C-alpha cells in the first residue's frame, strides 16, 4: 500500500552572476575575519568587558557615593531631582501633620489662636514652607512660632538632614563634573603601531600626543600584550597579560609630553615579540593595550588615557612621518600628519632570526677560514676514509686539531 508523503516546499535562491559567485567566498572570508576580531579595549579606551551574574549586589550600596558618580548623567540627574523632591515632600507632610494634629487647620480665621506655623492653611502651604526651610530662602510670610516645641524639633531635624543631603548630592555632582575622563579626550594615540629598524635593532613603535597647551604632569606610559596562552601543563589562560617594556629600566617611560612622542619598544630576548615574524604577525591574534597616565595640571587629578592595537593595526616595515618643524622662533606641530606612516626597508624575519644572522656575520676570521677549508676538503676526506680507519692515532690527532681550530694543520691535511 503506497502512502503519499507531502514534500516540504523548497525555497530556491536566485541564481547569481558568475562574477558575484566568485567574489562571494572572498567577501564571506573577509567578513569572517572581521567578525573574529574581538577587542579587549576599544580604540577610544573603553574596556569591552561586561560583568555578569554578580550576586553580591549589596557591595554597590556599601559604596553608594562611587556608585552614584559612576552612573550615567541621565540617571544621576534623575536621582538628584528625586532626592530633593522626596525630602521636600516628606517634611512638607510632617509640617502638615503637626498642624492637623494641633488643630491649626480648624482655626485658620481665628486671630486669637496661635498656630505652630503662621499662614499654614493646607498641604501646599506646608510643602512650600518645607522648601523654604531646607533651602533657607526665608520669604518671611510663613514663620514658626515659639508655642510649638514639636515644630522646633522638626525644624532642627530638617535643617541637619537638609545640610547632609546638600553636601552629598552637590558633592556627587561636583566630582562627576570634575572627573578627568574628558581630559583624556585630548590625549591622542596613533591609529597604527609600526615595526621597523632603529639603531640596528627591530623595534615596535607607536605615537602619543597632547592637543592642549596645559600639560600632563608626571606623565608615564606602559603597554600590555593581551594574548591567550596555554601552559606546558595544558592550562588555558584566556587574555593573558604580558608586560611590554617601553623604557621602564631606562626611565624612558616617563614622558615630557609637550610635543608628540614616539614610544619605542626594543624587541629583544625579553620581549614577547622575540620570535614573531611578519608572516606570523599577520596570522596571530593578539592585542596591544597602551596606557598613558598623569596628573592634570589645572586640577591635580590623575588622568588615564587608553587605546589598543590589534594585529591588523601593527604595520611591519613602516615608520612615522615627522610632525615637528622649526619655525621663526618656535616649534610647530602638524597634527595633520600625526597618523601618517611611510614604508621603509625592514627584514621580514623575527628578531631572533635577525640576531642569529647578525651573530653569524660577526664570527671571527679563523672560524670562517676553517669552515671554508673544511668544505674544500670534503671530497678528499671521502677518499682518505680508509686511511683514517687504518691509522686510529692519526684520526685522533685530526679530531684534536679540528677541536682546537688549528688552521695550519687543516691546511697541511688538505694538501695530502
Q: Please state whether 194 falls in left (phi above 0), alpha (psi between -120 and 50) or beta.
A: beta
Q: Mean pLDDT over residues 344-369, rounded?
A: 79
**What is d(CA 239, CA 231) in angstroms, rounded to the nearest whole number?**
13
**Residue-level pLDDT at 367:** 47
H-assigned helices in 113-268: 123-135, 149-177
Question: What is the three-class DSSP state of 23?
Answer: helix
**What is d(CA 213, CA 230) in angstroms, rounded to the nearest whole number?**
46
Q: Residue with C-alpha cell 596570522? A: 283
Is residue 246 a contact partner of residue 259, using CB atoms and an 8 Å limit? no
**What is d(CA 312, CA 266) in angstroms, rounded to the nearest whole number?**
20
State phi, psi for 250 to the nearest 5 degrees.
-105, -5
**What is d(CA 165, CA 262) in angstroms, rounded to the nearest whole number?**
49
**What is d(CA 189, CA 192) in angstroms, rounded to the nearest whole number?**
8
Is residue 119 a contact partner of residue 142, using CB atoms and an 8 Å limit? yes
Percent of the chain with pLDDT strictly greater than 90: 49
**What is d(CA 241, CA 248) in angstroms, rounded to the nearest whole number?**
17
Q: Residue with C-alpha cell 567578525? A: 35
**Residue-level pLDDT at 275:** 92
Question: What is the three-class DSSP state of 186?
Answer: helix
To the nearest 10 degrees (0 to 180), the angle between helices 149-177 and 123-135 is: 60
Q: Mean pLDDT over residues 12-17, rounded?
A: 46
CB 16: neighbour CB atoms within 10 A? 11
**Grid coordinates in use for 193?**
603601531
Buried b (16+ CB within 10 A) or exposed e, 87-102: bbeebbebbbebbeeb
State phi, psi for 303 to the nearest 5 degrees.
-120, 145
> pTM of the entire structure?
0.68
Residue 278: CB partners within 8 Å, gap ≥ 6? 195, 316, 317, 348, 349
Q: Mean pLDDT over residues 328-334, rounded?
A: 91
**Residue-level pLDDT at 18:** 47
Q: Residue 28 pLDDT more than 70?
A: no
To the nearest 10 degrees (0 to 180), the angle between helices 73-102 and 123-135 is: 120
State phi, psi for 321 to the nearest 5 degrees.
-75, 135
Cα separation values, 277 from 185, 195, 228, 274, 347, Å:
34, 10, 18, 8, 9
Among 40-44, 157-161, 270-274, 402-406, the least confident range: 402-406
Q: Residue with C-alpha cell 549589596? A: 58
Among 125-129, 138-142, 233-237, 284-288, the least confident range: 138-142
Residue 325: CB partners within 8 Å, gap ≥ 6? 331, 332, 334
Q: Mean pLDDT over residues 16-30, rounded?
A: 49
To the nearest 10 degrees (0 to 180), the angle between helices 407-415 and 392-404 is: 140
**Residue-level pLDDT at 23:** 53
**Residue-level pLDDT at 364:** 62
Amino acid at each position: 500500500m503506497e502512502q503519499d508523503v507531502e514534500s516540504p516546499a523548497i525555497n530556491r535562491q536566485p541564481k547569481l552572476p558568475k562574477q558575484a559567485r566568485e567574489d562571494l567566498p572572498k567577501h564571506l572570508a573577509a567578513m569572517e575575519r572581521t567578525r573574529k576580531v574581538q577587542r579587549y579595549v576599544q580604540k577610544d579606551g573603553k574596556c569591552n568587558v561586561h560583568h555578569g551574574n554578580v550576586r553580591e549586589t549589596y557591595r554597590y550600596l556599601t559604596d553608594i557615593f562611587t556608585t552614584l558618580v559612576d552612573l550615567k548623567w541621565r540617571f544621576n540627574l534623575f536621582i538628584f531631582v528625586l532626592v530633593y523632591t522626596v525630602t521636600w515632600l516628606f517634611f512638607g507632610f510632617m509640617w502638615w501633620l503637626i498642624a492637623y494634629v494641633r488643630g491649626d487647620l480648624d482655626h485658620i480665621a481665628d486671630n486669637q489662636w496661635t498656630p505652630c506655623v503662621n499662614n499654614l492653611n493646607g498641604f501646599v502651604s506646608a510643602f512650600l514652607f518645607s522648601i523654604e526651610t531646607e533651602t533657607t530662602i526665608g520669604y518671611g510670610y510663613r514663620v514658626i512660632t515659639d508655642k510649638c516645641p514639636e515644630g522646633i524639633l522638626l525644624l532642627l531635624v530638617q535643617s541637619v538632614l537638609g545640610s547632609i543631603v546638600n553636601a552629598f548630592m552637590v558633592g556627587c555632582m561636583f566630582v562627576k563634573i570634575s572627573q578627568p575622563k574628558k581630559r583624556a579626550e585630548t590625549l591622542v594615540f596613533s591609529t597604527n603601531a609600526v615595526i621597523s629598524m632603529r639603531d640596528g635593532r627591530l623595534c615596535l613603535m607607536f605615537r602619543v600626543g597632547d592637543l592642549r597647551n596645559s600639560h600632563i604632569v608626571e606623565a608615564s606610559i606602559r603597554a600590555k600584550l593581551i594574548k591567550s596562552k596555554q601552559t606546558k601543563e595544558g592550562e588555558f589562560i584566556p587574555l593573558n597579560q604580558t608586560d611590554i617594556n617601553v623604557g621602564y629600566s631606562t626611565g624612558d617611560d616617563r614622558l615630557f609630553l609637550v610635543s608628540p612622542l614616539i614610544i619605542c619598544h626594543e624587541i629583544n630576548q625579553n620581549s614577547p615579540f622575540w620570535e614573531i615574524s611578519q608572516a606570523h604577525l599577520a596570522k596571530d591574534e593578539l592585542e596591544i593595550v597602551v596606557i598613558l597616565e598623569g596628573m592634570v595640571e589645572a586640577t591635580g587629578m590623575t588622568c588615564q588615557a587608553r587605546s589598543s592595537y590589534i594585529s591588523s593595526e601593527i604595520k611591519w616595515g613602516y615608520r612615522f612621518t615627522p610632525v615637528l618643524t622649526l619655525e621663526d622662533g618656535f616649534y610647530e606641530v602638524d597634527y595633520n600628519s600625526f597618523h601618517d606612516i611611510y614604508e621603509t626597508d625592514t627584514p621580514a624575519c623575527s628578531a631572533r632570526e635577525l640576531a642569529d644572522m647578525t651573530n653569524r656575520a660577526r664570527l671571527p676570521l679563523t672560524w670562517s677560514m676553517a669552515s671554508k677549508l673544511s668544505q674544500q676538503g670534503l671530497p678528499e676526506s671521502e677518499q682518505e676514509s680508509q686511511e683514517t680507519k687504518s691509522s686510529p692515532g692519526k684520526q685522533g690527532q685530526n679530531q684534536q686539531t679540528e677541536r682546537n681550530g688549528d688552521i695550519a694543520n687543516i691546511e697541511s691535511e688538505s694538501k695530502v
